[in-house]
Amino acid sequence: MLSMVSQIIERYHRRRAPAFIIGMFRILYGMVVLQEVIFLLYFNHLIFDPVPYIDVEFPMIPLFLGLWAIVAGCIILGYKTQTTIIANYIFWIVFVNFTPMQRDFDGGFDLFMVGIGFFLIFMPIGRAVSIDNLVYKLQFKFQHQPALPKTCSALSLLFPVLICLGFLYLDSAIHKLFAPHWLNGLGAWLPSTMPYYVSALDLSWMLNQQVLQKFIGYLILVFQFSFMFFFYRRCFRPIYLLVGAGLHIGISISLNIYPFGLGMLAVYILMVPFSWWQALADQFIYQKSALAVFYDGDCPLCNRTATIINHFDVLQGVVFKDLQTQADSAPQLQVYDQQVLLADLYAVDLQGKVYSGVDTYIQIFHKMRYMAIFSWLMRVPGIYHLARAIYRRIADNRARNACYEFCLPAVAEKSYPLDLYTRIFENYAQHKPRQFRFRMAKIFMVLVILQLNSSIHYGFLYRFYDLSRIESPLVNQARLLSNSVLMLSTTFLGITPHALYLHDHFEGYEDLLAISYIDAQGHEQWLPFINEQGRMLAPNWGRVHSMWANIAVTPNINTDRLSKFIMKVTAFWGAKVGLDLNQAQFIIKHKKIKSPQQWVFNLRKENLSGAWTNIGTATWTNKHYQLELQTIK
């Protein structure tokens, strides 16, 4: 078995993949992290304060969230990638395990982001579309820049998809086998009819098609069971890519757990066939450069300018030429004196038109296409004259002396910085290929065992046997060992059971609660949390939704737990809407909904309608909270 796995690993390791894909994956992952950190900053007091705005237990949380946001920004830009991706991994582990995020505000994708973050540490995330590459190239003269690696091992794309998506889907599918509404083909339909879970987008026209909904439900089961066994085959990859991406786009727009959908979607970019990227490049990248820019090859500032613009000119619309050696390639410039040419940045387009100074930059931005807005802005009278004055000041004061150390062509002395991917997947694999593939095979088998431990423990034994009741020293030791392994694999690798939205979650889920308040004029107003339909309003989605819909209000409502979260919601949103918590009154509202295991026509609309009844009050007096609540029947 180990030998067969090692041979497969060697075959995929020898395949080369565009590093550009890893760079795009890094950017998307960083964007998901950044939006989640911004979300945590906004709901800082609700999530981390025992009593929002009143009992602030973690005053340093905003500072650390700010640092995490900076780290996420660096990941997006590709700056100090090896350091920032490790810092991001540590931030996820610390916030998930040492704050209320996991216990009371589980985002549904935190451990998934931990697992992805772990694999990113060993991926060549800084090899393409990164500031790291630009910083490295700025050490050399533009014309002496070394060729940077543009490819990487296909293993760096295969492993995250196989482990983070394949294992997740298979584990989730195993749990779905024990859910009646999933076996009835209604696994996707039922959450989309529950007011707490739906977004503002009304998809009733789809939900009212019974055959379509059952097709989607069974498609998800087949997709999840088969994904890890077929996704890597070239003939099946487009199918799994389109189906999987479509399902997660549907989750992002139809349900209010969009971070989960976006996080999963980011990984799908690793599955896009290389030929699709090439076809996209053929459509947008210039076949021939549209603008030739001539610069002074002995000027440090000109070299930096050429390097920076060339780095961001992803569509390759601009080519830079050294005036010292390539001036003859543009006959249009022969009429100018050499000293005149060296005093400015000149450019020639395909029509032979000559530009200089600020006009050169306007043309550069225009030819780069995605920077065209700056080209248009710089043409505006006033802005144009200001830009020309700034350019003239810089150009006239630049030092045209000998090249500084940073732009000397000493390529051999300035090697590309090594990351963990280069050390392990290239240097180590090149010098010890047999040892590399067998060690990678062993690591893969360990990951399989860790996932099997979780799936078997929760997917089968947990459902059919109560191991704590079995009086056997051997069984007790096995249970303790399994729990210890689960704790480690969950914490550091994100391997966890994915028993989401099963029958034990929705069965008997027939009660909705909402909160209103009495304003300063004595009028009743709805708190910007749950609206009159029973739908959770933005931005109370993601982990705030999880707190209310999965912990506070469940098929079996726990009064103490409900009281705790009513207290947190009223304190947080009460302060947000300007209420004085020295004297504030909130009204707890209740209405009934349906949560059937069989398809019902127009259930979404029916659940969103219906009358509310007042079942209690939450009162704040001198910043002390008191709840009076009737028994929910």
Mean pLDDT of 166-181: 91
Q: What is the pLDDT of residue 424?
A: 92
Residue 332: give its domain's CATH number: 3.40.30
Buried b (16+ CB within 10 A) or exposed e, 83-119: ebbbbbbebbbebbeebbbbebbbbbbbbbbbbbbbb
Looking at the structure, tell me whether residues 364 and 215 fall in a common domain: no
Residue 278 lies in a domain: no
In the predicted structure, residue 401 carries a pLDDT above the cut 80: no
Query: Do residues 357 and 391 touch, judged by C-beta distance below 8 A?
Result: yes
- Give yes or no: residues 181 and 34 share one domain: yes
On whether the CB atoms of residues 157 and 120 are closer than 8 A, the answer is no
Together in a domain, 305 and 164: no
pLDDT at 58 over 50: yes
By residue count, the chain amounts to 633
Boundary (domain end) residue, out of 462, 487, 512: 487
pLDDT level of residue 312 (50, 70, 90 thresholds) = very high
Single pTM value for the model: 0.93
Is the residue at 415 inside a domain? no
Using the 3D structure, point to which of 384, 407, 430 is the last residue of a domain: 407
| Among candidate residues 422, 416, 418, the one with its CA nearest the CA of residue 140 | 416
Rounded to whole angstroms, the Cα distance separating 583 from 291 reads 69
pLDDT tens digits along 369-395: 999 999 999 999 999 999 999 998 888
Task: Kindly state whether residues 201 and 342 are assigned to the same domain.
Answer: no
Instruction: Identify whether residues 238 and 207 lie together within a single domain.
Output: yes
Task: Provide the token pair at 548.
Answer: 């209310």
240 and 291 part of one domain: no
Hunting for tokens 């090249």 — which residue is that?
403
pLDDT digits (tens, 9 = 90+) for 85-95: 999 999 999 99
Q: What is the pLDDT of residue 564?
A: 95
Asked if 573 and 450 sit in the same domain, the reply is: no
**What's the pLDDT at 343?**
80
User: Between residues 201 and 567, which one has the greater pLDDT?
Assistant: 567
User: Domain count of the chain?
Assistant: 3
Same domain, 351 and 319: yes
Question: Residue 346: beta bridge partners?
Answer: 294, 356
Do 50 and 157 lie in one domain? The reply is yes
The beta-strand segments (E) located in 500-612 are: 511-518, 524-526, 583-592
pLDDT in tens, 237-261: 999 999 999 999 999 999 988 888 9
Contact between 267 and 164 under an 8 Å Cβ cutoff? The reply is yes
281 vs 116: CA distance, rounded Å: 27
The residue among 269, 264, 259 whose CA lies nearest residue 247 is: 264
pLDDT value at residue 414: 60
What is the pLDDT at residue 106?
86
In-domain check, residue 237? yes
The answer to whether residue 339 scores a pLDDT higher than 80 is no
pLDDT at residue 632 tops 90: no
Pair 212, 342 in one domain:
no
Identify the bridge partners of residue 615 per DSSP, sorted by sequence position.
none
Q: Which two tokens stand for residue 545?
A: 């939704």
155 shares its domain with 224: yes
- What backbone torsions phi and psi does residue 232 show, to the nearest 5 degrees? -80, -10
Task: Flag whether pLDDT at 341 surpasses 60.
Answer: yes
Domain extent at residue 189: 2-270+421-487
Crossing angle of helices 258-268/19-42, nearest 10°?
170
Q: What is the pLDDT of residues 125-155, one digit of tens each?
A: 999 999 999 999 988 888 888 888 889 999 9
| Same structural domain, 176 and 243 | yes
Q: Please, are residues 559 and 629 in contact by the beta-carbon 8 Å criterion?
A: yes
